Amino acid sequence: MSIVKISEVALKEFKELLKDNKIETNTVRIVISGIG
């Protein structure tokens, strides 16, 4: 499994998590910045 594929799966799960928990947008940006 490639790094890219893992990232895609992680991002998909992350988006699902956001829908469930309605995490604030600023927190999302910080986390994405950390990943990117």
Instruction: Report d(CA 24, CA 1) in Å as an integer.
Output: 31
Task: Determine the pLDDT at residue 24.
Answer: 65
Between 9 and 33, the higher pLDDT residue? 9
Q: Under a CB-based contact definition with an 8 Å cutoff, are residues 28 and 17 in contact?
A: no
Task: Tell me the domain boundaries of the chain.
Answer: 3-35
The angle that helices 3-21 and 25-35 make with each other, rounded to 10 degrees, is 170
Q: What are phi and psi of 22, to 5 degrees?
A: 50, 50
Q: Hey, how many other C-beta atoms are within 10 angstroms of the C-beta on 11?
A: 12
Averaged pLDDT, 32-36: 71
Task: Encode pLDDT of 5-31 as tens digits.
Answer: 888 888 888 888 777 666 566 677 777
Indicate the pTM of the whole model: 0.41
